[in-house]
Amino acid sequence: MIYTVTLNPSVDYIVFTDTMKIGELNRASQTYKFAGGKGINVSRVLKSHGVESTALGFTGGFPGDFIKNSLQEDRIMTDFIEVAEDTRINIKLKGMAETEINAPGPSVTREQTEQLLQQIQRLSPDDTLVLAGSIPSSVDADIYSRIAQLCPGKIVVDAEKDLLLSVLDSQPEFIKPNKAELEQIFERKLETVDEIIDCARELIKKGAKNVMVSLGGEGALYVSESLVYQAEVPSGHVVNTVGSGDSTVAGMIAGMTQGLSIEESFKLAVASGTATAFTEDLATQEQIAHVLSDIKLTIV
């Protein structure tokens, strides 16, 4: 079984506006509310691929209920731990440019964290655990490394700087930084593909088995010890890129779970990310299938 962990889920409130003027009244042309947070998005896109998973993490209050109901409607299994404060609501403004405001998230007690660690201890060596997204400020910064050490199965990680670095010792199957996150880790601008590949290889030296670097509209790279694939994405009408990175992670796991080669899994990963960028919500299986043949892979 695949388990996703979202320590800081969110209701994503997507607001489309034709004009966006700071300091003035703006009216939305369209709004959407989606169950979000990185692990939850991975579970949702896995479901689109026909791959079952169980979503773990902390939920609270009415936004937490919204998330649970929405996952239940999609027939995604959940085993969330209830917290007293409300799950956060993240605002995604879609005007001329995409602007996001991600909230800090609710308090989580030590007992609730221990409860989560007990869930992880009960997993089996055949399970895969996806650790994704930020952590609420009340949770200790070493939580990902504790989870990774306790997990008897494979782990996949999509998180920022220190959280990501903290799990490399546990040899994640793959990690998925985007270019900005790599630049943050290595504290320099990355101008060329070769520079990005070098940084990915540094992370492999530190313990990651493979590194998938997503590059937004520039596609993605899959870097392993022995080979590098580069994917180009088709141009299209970008509607909402929220969840594109999570869709990429889900596509890779779906491919691997279904026994596809690394090459085919990576293609499915990039198609999943791109299809999500081209739609309001996360991509459906049909939308992913539609862009799949337009993803061009080369060996670098």
Ligand X SMILES: Nc1ncnc2c1ncn2[C@@H]1O[C@H](COP(=O)(O)OP(=O)(O)O)[C@@H](O)[C@H]1O
Whether the Cβ atoms of residue 163 and residue 139 lie closer than 8 Å to each other: no
Joined tokens for residue 101: 């405001």
| Closer CB to ligand X, 60 or 273, in the complex | 273
- Of 38 and 179, CB closest to ligand FBP: 38
Binding mask 231-270 for ligand X (x = CB under 6 A): --x----x--x--xx--x---------------------x
Token pair recorded at residue 276: 């999500």
Cβ nearer to ligand X, comparing 45 with 81: 45
* Token pair for 211: 């590194």
Q: Name the helix (H) or strand (E) containing 213.
A: strand 211-214
| CA distances, 227 to each of 169, 218, 260 (Å) | 22, 19, 17
Does 251 engage in binding with ligand FBP (CB under 6 A)? Answer: no
Tokens of 91: 């605002």
10 binds, among ligand X, ligand FBP, none (CB under 5 to 8 A by kind): ligand FBP
Residue (23 or 51) nearer to ligand FBP, CB? 51
Per-residue contact track with ligand X, 271 to 300, x per CB under 6 A?
--xx--x-----------------------
Report the site for ligand FBP in 41-60 (rule: CB under 6 A): 41
Contact code string over 100-129 relative to ligand FBP, x by CB under 6 A = --x---------------------------
* 134 near ligand FBP, rule: CB under 6 A: yes
Q: Give the span between the Cα atoms of 49 and 120, in whole angstroms.
A: 24
Can you point out the beta strands (E) in 18-127? 28-36, 53-59, 77-82, 88-94, 98-101
Stretch that binds ligand X, among 66-74, 120-128, 199-207, 215-223 (CB under 6 A): 215-223
DSSP labels, 161-181: HHHHHTTGGG--SEE--BHHH
Q: What are the Cα distances from residue 57, in Å, to 24, 115, 116, 168? A: 38, 10, 7, 21
Q: Taking Cα atoms as reference points, which of 179, 181, 191, 16 lies closest to residue 95?
A: 16
* 244 sits near ligand FBP (criterion: CB under 6 A): yes
Task: Answer yes or no whether residue 272 interacts with ligand FBP by CB under 6 A.
Answer: no
Binding of ligand FBP at residue 219 (CB under 6 A)? no
What tokens appear for 38 in the block?
A: 């990185």
The whole-angstrom separation of Cα 58 and Cα 293 is 38
Q: Is 246 a catalytic residue?
A: yes
Q: Which of 242, 269, 271, 277: binder of ligand FBP (CB under 6 A)?
A: 242
Task: Single out the residue of 5, 13, 14, 37 in contact with ligand FBP (rule: CB under 6 A).
Answer: 37
- Nearest-5° Cα angle at 68, 94 to 156: 75
217 touches ligand X by CB under 6 A: yes
* Three-state secondary-structure class, residue 133: coil
Give the integer Cα–Cα distance in Å for 142 and 209: 21
Binding mask 76-105 toward ligand FBP (x if CB under 6 A, else -) reads --------------x-----------x---
Binding stretches for ligand X (CB under 6 A): 178, 214-217, 219-220, 233, 238, 241, 244-245, 248, 270, 273-274, 277
